[in-house]
Structure 1
Amino acid sequence: MTLPDSDDTIVAISTPPGYGGIGVIRISGKQAFTVANAIIDTTVNVIDAKSHTIHHGYVRGAQTGTITDEVLVALFRAPNSYTGEDVIEISAHGNPQILKQIVGLAIDSGARPAAAGEFTMRAFLSGRIDLVQAESVADLIAAESAAFQQAALYQLSGKLSAYIGTIRSQLLDIGALFEAYTDFPEEHIPQQQQAELLAKLDDVTASLSRLASSYRHGEIIRAGIQVPIVGPPNAGKSSLFNAILAEERAIVTDIPGTTRDTISEKIDIEGIAVRFVDTAGLREAADQIEAAGVERSRREIDAANLLITIFDIANTSAAEIMSWLRKMPGKAVICVLNKIDLVPKSTLDTYTTALAFHYPVLVSATTLAGVDTVVARIASVIRDSIPISSANVNILTNQRHLVAVQNAILSLTEARAKLEQGESFELMAFDLRQATNSLEEILGKITNDDLLAEIFSRFCIGK
């Protein structure tokens, strides 16, 4: 795949679509100042103005001279800009028509429309940021939770890259020793030096293994967790769903089988995006539509990180609840006993004793009693699942990085086995180069046009 021409001067709206108090147009490239000077009247000549200054002005059509908008123009000269090139940022009124007109004037004056993610790609290609930092820009924009936001900021700061770079340097040092021995293929490595090399390989492999293991937490930080609310019909699933969200999101009636399709909403708990899913009651379906809803409920259960099982204790025996819970897949389950406002305390005591192993939460989705306890229980599960902060920790949240780290570990394992078996130093040096290359792929020191095009196509236009 061919990348966009980096010699062109590009332009795009950088603020989100729609109306707002302000809209920003970004221009980047060798002719950025010339393009801006052609369409903006200011009290200074833009081409001669100092970097990192802001000027008041008016955007005018070059042909008609008609004023399009009153603007502020920020100037950033290479290499001290977001892209590492000359950059102009025009702050205009946030009317989509005005912003489109300004972009059109810039195009008429020599710029071309920017491709998705092209500004950040230019920052990467100019060496201002590495590929981990570039990907973290998209993550920061898309983050739906505080934890993912903090993880993206950490990666954008370059700290994860620095950690990977340190491991890469260790690999280069070990690889240099192997390369040196390739000049003397007939010599055997002294036993003490072999032990030292094995120890160094083990240390690096351990560091990479910890990094790979962090992805289990990183995936939760990135994607959040899915929590279906499941149970028999008319147990109060939709009522609990609405109570947790504090809004009437799902239809609630006394008729069993009211919920025919899944409904989902996300909220932030402990910094993690938690997607609650209201599901159809699990029973033998009365018709094809209900059957489709029940099948979707089962799919949600299969994909869940955590299940909330809810039961109407006014109409369900403890034995029936136990039977239900035994049928649940091997996932974390929060057992909720609903409609506690309809039964006496003695009944509650009987149920909590019978179901003590499942630590049931007593709830009235109608009066909201116990709903906070359900949320607190979910928060506890999240804290147990992610026992580390995402703000100041080297943690993988990107599957591309995980695959590269796993490849590096595999190469190091091969090198270690060959060293123990006394095989060719040339083969060991090759394995070390492969491991190093895997880490360099993460940082973007080794890359190709197809990979870059795939990564930056995920960005929005204007970033």
Structure 2
Amino acid sequence: MINQDSIVALATPSGAGAIAVIRISGENAIAIGASVFQSVSGKDITKQKTHTIHLGHIFEDEKIFDQVLISVFKGPNSYTGENTIEISCHGSTYIQQQIIQLLLRKGCRMAQAGEFTLRAFLNGKLDLSQAEAVADLINSDNEASHQIAMQQMRGGFSNEIAKLREELLNFASLIELELDFAEEDVEFADRTQFYELLNRIEFVLKRLIDSFAVGNVIKNGIPVAIVGEPNVGKSTLLNALLNEERAIVSDIAGTTRDTIEDELVIEGMSFRFIDTAGIRETKDVVESIGIKKTFEKIEQAQVVLYLIDGRWKMEDGSQNLLQVKIEVEKIRNQFPLKPLIVIANKKDLLSTVEIKNLQSEIQNILLISAKNNAGIEELKNQLLSFVNTGALRNNETIVTNTRHYDSLLKALEEIQKVNYGLQTNLPSDLMAIDIREALYHFGNITGEVTNDELLGNIFANFCIGK
């Protein structure tokens, strides 16, 4: 499926830095490295032990490009399973390009996106789900997503799937054997044990499928929409949460005309806050577009913060809490399935009586002063309460990959068909078809079953050099 030639790429980020690492992998990688490297001690790196580092110079003819360290990894004891060298050079972009161009002239070709990890998979160093976890690990930007990626890369998810597949495969072999002796009407597979196995597999699959809801938001961040009428302090709240002046704050109603998004990590969990345009009747065309976008963002959000001005008054100056409750119910009814936190802002301007009235009339209302940062920590704690992090603490397997989720759903469907067939005494040949399909979907996760198109789609999302 891929050429087994030697590939080269920059393994560190593009641009200037203190150092850069250039990686070569392939059967001739060490020989190619030796052809451009002169050790300060006169060593021949082709004759050195694996996992050793050597100081010297990269050169061509009489020209020296840089003083470098070369790390030698001999296959199969390397990341890719092939001969690999890594050149640690100074981080000048000129030096990086000169060394890479030299290696291309010596017989390397530029690596494609994810090709080093693809070779690791093809050479049995990683299964497919572990290889995908490498990309997740590189992209992890908070503690929770890092923890999940590390667990998957170390084989936690793969081992669970592989164990289920092996047990099912053993019973599948017995079912297939029965088909060879169909005329004798014998049963090699114990139906009671088979039924117990199917129930156990179904239980595990449902747990893994359910974990995707948590895993997906941990991986991508939890979108939180901040909504409410104009000038209640939505932008001030966003600034308070982020601890910076991210949104423009003004006393003029309708200042925020577009959505503003930013991310905050709270105790290792990533939240994406969306400051939206104030919801009100308006003839301003631009503001109307902003309000339309507000409702679109609420649809996309996992959590809604509905902010009201705690000093809310009627035109005659009275505080009509009934009207406030009506506004809250409107948002609840419009988005009944979304967790909603009702927040009264400007607590610092409220009297004790007004605070008690709000708390008695609106259940679980949270009082804050976004301007003075009062109640912000309590709000963060409430946001965390919407995320089930128990699985992380218990080190349970959490599914974050949409491809895995899809395969698990399909495997569960086939297992349920087999279970139904067992209960209704379906002929073994028909059950065997459903078992094969279930095994196919299990294998699709870990890479026992694969094709070039699938691998191309997966590794195209990797960075070049990994």
Tell me if TM exceeds 0.5.
yes
Q: Deviations over 1:108-148 (max 9, x none)?
A: 11100000000000000000110011000000001122111
Partner of 1:335: 342
| Residue 220 (1) aligns with residue 227 (2) | no
Q: 1: CA distance between counterparts of 2:137 and 2:129? A: 12
Partner of 2:402: 399
| Residue 293 (1) aligns with residue 290 (2) | yes
Contact 2:206 2:412 in 1 (8 A): yes
What pairs up with 1:129-208 in 2 under 5 angstroms?
A: 129-186=126-183, 193-208=190-205
Count of aligned pairs: 454
Q: Deviations over 1:337-394 (max 9, x none)?
A: 1112222221111111111x2x111111111111121112112222xx3432167212
- SS of the residue corresponding to residue 388 of structure 1 reads helix
Contact 2:344 2:366 in 1 (8 A): yes
Shift of 1:285: 2.9
Partner of 2:102: 105
> Which residue of the other structure, out of 327, 350, 362, is the alignment partner of 2:357?
350
Shift of 1:188: 5.4
Q: 1: CA distance between counterparts of 2:444 and 2:21? A: 33
- SS of the residue corresponding to residue 195 of structure 2 reads helix
Partner of 1:460: 463
What pairs up with 1:265-344 in 2 under 5 angstroms?
A: 265-316=262-313, 317-328=320-331, 329-330=335-336, 331-344=338-351
Q: Deviations over 1:34-68 (max 9, x none)?
A: 221122221311222221111111122x25x3222
| Residue 364 (1) aligns with residue 369 (2) | yes
Q: 2: CA distance between counterparts of 1:230 and 1:187? A: 71
- Which letter maps to 1:395? I
**What runs of 5+ residues in structure 2 fail to find an aligned partner?**
314-319
Contact 1:147 1:390 in 2 (8 A): no
Contact 1:234 1:281 in 2 (8 A): yes
Q: 1: CA distance between counterparts of 2:393 and 2:222? A: 16
Contact 1:150 1:390 in 2 (8 A): no
- Which letter maps to 2:398? I
Q: 2: CA distance between counterparts of 1:404 and 1:189? A: 33
Q: 1:187 to 1:420 in 2, by over 3 A?
A: farther
Q: 1: CA distance between counterparts of 2:187 and 2:259? A: 66
Contact 2:391 2:398 in 1 (8 A): no
Q: 1: CA distance between counterparts of 2:394 and 2:11? A: 27
Contact 2:171 2:189 in 1 (8 A): no
Q: 1:431 to 1:197 in 2, by over 3 A?
A: same
Once the two structures are overlaid, the 10-residue window that deviates more, 120-129 or 206-215, is 206-215
**What runs of 5+ residues in structure 1 fail to find an aligned partner?**
none
Q: 1:6 to 1:191 in 2, by over 3 A?
A: closer
- Which letter maps to 2:49? K
Shift of 1:397: 1.0
Contact 1:147 1:391 in 2 (8 A): no
Partner of 2:386: 381
- Which letter maps to 1:419? L
Contact 1:151 1:390 in 2 (8 A): no
Identity of matched residues, % = 39
Q: What do you get for the CA RMSD once the two structures are aligned?
A: 1.8
Q: 1: CA distance between counterparts of 2:185 and 2:222? A: 53
Q: 1:405 to 1:222 in 2, by over 3 A?
A: same
Shift of 1:237: 0.3
Contact 1:26 1:89 in 2 (8 A): yes
Shift of 1:98: 1.6
- SS of the residue corresponding to residue 128 of structure 1 reads coil
Q: 2: CA distance between counterparts of 1:198 and 1:391? A: 29
| Residue 50 (1) aligns with residue 49 (2) | yes
- SS of the residue corresponding to residue 230 of structure 1 reads strand
